[in-house]
Amino acid sequence: MSTASTAIKAKQRPGDRVFSGSAVFAGSMILVTLAAVALFLIVQSIPAFFASHEDASILPESFWSYVGPLLFGTIWAAALALIMAVPISIGIALFISHYAPRRLASVLGYIVDLLAAVPSVVFGLWGIGVLAPAVQPIYAWLVDNVGWFPLFSGPVSGTGRTILTAGIVLAVMVLPIMTAICREVFLQTPVLHEEAALALGATRWEMIRTAVLPFGRSGIVSAAVLGLGRALGETMAVAMVLSASGAVTFQLLTSVNPSTIAANIALSFPEAFGINVNVLIATGLILFIVTFVVNAIARWIVSRRQEFSGAN
């Protein structure tokens, strides 16, 4: 160290400026990327909005009559997946957080996470090769015996590749993320609340009902909405499993099924040409907007929860 009067006065450090500059640059790249995604999708979509059957051969009439049934199928398949996945993921999360032996808990959690590591195309193969043949007899039985119920009306699909099968595959695929979030929230339940419930003579279920579930409610909701976002955008598994005809129908077990936006893009894009490409990109834009809205709702719920819990 030299004398103070010279040492203390110093220049701006070039290292600091370069480093913070590149950090800001990287952050701005996110902004640029997202702006580019939105911009390119919109630019490429514009011709599609005004196209008719003469311009683009895949359009029946207008763009909106094309995207409508697809949007219906997308939401219907995701909703089916969610109806199955929410109770099961809550069950798994409770099992891991409150029922399984402590030492096993992390291993069990890891096993469920393994499901998330399976690529969607493999789920697709499994859905066609294993799941669809396995559930087809059950579908046939349902149509024969509960066919009076509108959702289960026949005639039954001979392959089992129906919207319900697609929903099951989607449910399996969103299970890990939903389970992980629920588990995290359940584990954060204040131990004091749990012990208070137990000290009042509650059974384990009563403790969970009075302490754990109310605490985790918004966590469960945000997990469900995040799972919904995943299910809406999932492509390959649906494209492979679902044998779609493009109809708008709620029937679960017949061979007449709606398609989804993402699956339709994957199936049609490799052979598309001319304005058809723009039409498919425009459906992608619609999907982007729908998932954006769903994720925005999830974020809003999460932020509200943080305000309530007072953490951070």
Q: How far is the CB of 310 from other proteins (least distance, A)?
A: 19
128 lies in the binding site for other proteins (CB under 8 A): yes
Which H, E and C letters describe 36-73, residue by residue?
Answer: HHHHHHHHHHHHHHCCCCCCCCCCCCCHHHHHHHHHHH
Q: At which residue do the structure tokens 């349902």 appear?
A: 142
* Residue span binding other proteins (CB under 8 A) among the ranges 47-55, 158-166, 250-258, 286-294: 286-294
Backbone angles phi, psi at 19, to 5 degrees: -65, -50
Side chain identity at residue 253, one-letter code: L
Q: How far is the CB of 18 from other proteins (least distance, A)?
A: 8
Among residues 213, 212, 218, the alpha carbon closest in space to that of 192 is found at 212
Q: Which of 31, 191, 192, 311 binds other proteins (CB under 8 A)?
A: 31
Please give the residues from 46 up to 85 whose contact with other proteins meets the rule CB under 8 A.
none
Distance CA 172, CA 81 (A): 8
Which is nearer to other proteins, 71 or 287 (by Cβ)? 287
44 lies in the binding site for other proteins (CB under 8 A): yes
Distances (CA, A) of 158 to 135, 155, 161, 237: 11, 9, 8, 19
Please give the residues from 8 up to 27 whose contact with other proteins meets the rule CB under 8 A.
8-11, 13, 15-16, 18-20, 22-27
Please give the residues from 96 up to 115 whose contact with other proteins meets the rule CB under 8 A.
96, 99-100, 108, 110-112, 114-115
Among residues 146, 123, 294, 158, the alpha carbon closest in space to that of 221 is found at 294
Q: How far is the CB of 77 from other proteins (least distance, A)?
A: 13
Please give the residues from 186 up to 225 whose contact with other proteins meets the rule CB under 8 A.
203-206, 208
